[in-house]
Structure 1
Amino acid sequence: MTKEKQRINAEEVVSNLSDFALFLTVMKNREAYRNTLSIIMDEPEIEIEQVKVEEVILNKSGKRAIRLDAWAKTKDQRIFDMEMQNEGHQDSMPKRSRYYQGMLDRPLLRSGKRTRYRDLPSTTIIFITQEDIFQKDLARYTFTEQCEEVAGLKLDDGITKIFLNMTSKKGSPELISLLQYMKNTDIDNPEIEVKDERLLELDRIVNEVKESEEWEAVKMDILDVGIQRGMELGRKQGIIALIETCHEFEHTKEETVSSIMKKFELSEETARNYVEKYWKE
């Protein structure tokens, strides 16, 4: 494959802000994060003090750790985490948000008698999805804790969970425009309702990122991974086809293992695992 062909394929893989790699690369930029968060939270004057991407929070008990997509702290000490979720149907997003929330709080409170729970900053987790996981046709779903017995009585624990849905057009024009821009990252996208200064600034940064050497390197890394996965998938299909052929011609399992080892240069253990998995009695 020529370098030019590789470049075209890589561009096709990651061209929209909804793509994980582009999202992370752009959100490293504090102004990009600020403009995005400003639209989501409807806070034009929000100020960002710190931004981190792909930050790992370990669970000291040895349980599952989490990797935050794009974490930020505002100048008024609020914590935000934005997660780009393109495979929400594969697991429970509400329960994922619950786990993330618990892990997000772990590093925020120091040990010691002088530390109080009231010192915990407010935290907001934002999941951005390309599907409507709640099926109510809203662009934004916001959840906070409140009492079931007393209407209007909020827990005020400082926790907010927001789920954004790219499929709906029911929401503020600014939010709809941002989500449609993420889905199809072209400022001339006809689905964009409002081109306010924050979205235009975000688009400028996205274009700068796409023209940078860093992004060229990221795209090529993605392409290399894709090629490797394709090769692995092709080899797997070839092994399965060989197993089916051996079975059809009444070869024994041992003969089939030997054929796989020879043709695909695999160890006996790996070849045997394939036969045990795909041999049809």
Structure 2
Amino acid sequence: MDDDFMKRCLKDNIPAVECILRIIMEQPDLTVLSVHIEDTIPNLLGRGIRMDVHAIDSTGTEYDIEVQRSDKGAGARRARFNSSLLDLNSLKKGNTYDQLPESYVIFITENDIFKEGLARYHINRIIEELNRPFDDGEHIIYVNGDYHGQDDIGKLMNDFRSSKVDDIILEPLKETVNRYKNNPREVAAMCADLEKWSMEERAEGIAEGIEKGIEKGIEKGVKKGRVEGRAEGAELFAKLLKLLQADGRTDDIKLALEDKEARERLYKEYHLE
């Protein structure tokens, strides 16, 4: 139930993601075409999202898979927000609304947040007066990580909870976890990824902190981000961090945080002067 370890295990790992989705979706013939870890959808007018796992299957259906140990991180409004930005990024200019693909936001939670003992909870819109589905193609699924059944979803949740390779049941997951726990080269690669993700999360946290400070009318320098100046400069820095994060420029994020000259150069590159 560690989202960083899971992201590394599932990076470019179509068989493992396919195994997970086939069980959650109850579709044994589901075919995954692409998997992206830490896929970011920026939103320069507001908050963006960074998905743990973004997958697309052979029908074009999109999946945002999130692992959450904290119940608060899997709130209803977050599910709604993730789903809305997933849609925003899916419909290309010139496409009709009918071309918007089916989408699933899937939260795998450590606890049974609905406390009903079910393996899954499906959330879909309905027409209340008619008591029938409103088929807009948007779906949210909560998977109960505390479920201990003997069926396939129970086996999957067992594997998510297991800290020992020998306790894992599903072969695609067992092989992957064994590789990242016991192969020195893969362990080193995983540590490098964890450092990269930590830097990106630091940048995102600083940008959000700056924005909140501006909203409260704070016009002092933002020491945490090592930025000097008033609120106007802080707002500019927040925009720069968001743009660098969206472009995956981890090294430049570090430079922006630590080097004033490099920061000025990046301002010019992104025309933020």
* TM class, shorter-length: 0.5 to 0.7
TM-score where L is the length of structure 1: 0.64
Shift of 1:126: 0.5
- The one-character-per-residue Cα deviations of 1:15-47 (angstroms, maximum 9, x if unpaired) are xxx112210011111111111111111111111
Task: Supply the distance in 1 between the matched residues of 2:184 and 2:19 (Cα, whole angstroms).
Answer: 20
- For residue 181 of structure 1, what is the aligned residue in structure 2? 159
The answer to whether 1:218 aligns with 2:198 is: no
C-alpha contact (below 8 Å) 2:165/2:177 kept by paired residues: no
Instruction: Could you tell me which runs of 5 or more consecutive residues in structure 1 were left unpaired when the two chains were aligned.
Output: 1-17, 227-281
Task: Supply the distance in 1 between the matched residues of 2:165 and 2:139 (Cα, whole angstroms).
Answer: 30
- Paired-residue identity, %: 30
- The one-character-per-residue Cα deviations of 1:44-86 (angstroms, maximum 9, x if unpaired) are 111111110001101132x111101100111111111110111
C-alpha contact (below 8 Å) 2:147/2:157 kept by paired residues: no
Instruction: Could you tell me which runs of 5 or more consecutive residues in structure 2 were left unpaired when the two chains were aligned.
Output: 199-273
The answer to whether 1:205 aligns with 2:158 is: no
For 1:203, the aligned partner's letter is: K
The answer to whether 1:100 aligns with 2:82 is: yes
Classify the secondary structure of the residue corresponding to 2:171. Answer: helix
Task: Supply the distance in 2 between the matched residues of 1:220 and 1:54 (Cα, whole angstroms).
Answer: 14
Runs of 4+ residues deviating >2 angstroms: 185-189, 214-223
Pairs within 5 Å for 1:34-73: 34-61=18-45, 63-73=46-56
Pairs within 5 Å for 1:192-271: 195=169, 199-210=170-181, 211=183, 213-219=185-191
Pairs within 5 Å for 1:118-137: 118-137=98-117
C-alpha contact (below 8 Å) 1:138/1:169 kept by paired residues: no
C-alpha contact (below 8 Å) 1:21/1:218 kept by paired residues: no
The count of residues paired between Structure 1 and Structure 2 equals 196
Classify the secondary structure of the residue corresponding to 1:150. Answer: coil
Classify the secondary structure of the residue corresponding to 2:133. Answer: coil
Identify which of structures 1 and 2 has the higher relative contact order when contacts are C-alpha pairs closer than 8 Å and 6+ apart: 1
TM-score where L is the length of structure 2: 0.66
- For residue 6 of structure 1, what is the aligned residue in structure 2? none
Classify the secondary structure of the residue corresponding to 1:95. Answer: helix
The answer to whether 1:147 aligns with 2:127 is: yes
For 2:64, the aligned partner's letter is: D
Root mean square deviation, CA, Å: 2.4
C-alpha contact (below 8 Å) 1:58/1:64 kept by paired residues: yes
For 1:73, the aligned partner's letter is: I
Shift of 1:222: 5.7
- For residue 143 of structure 2, what is the aligned residue in structure 1? 164
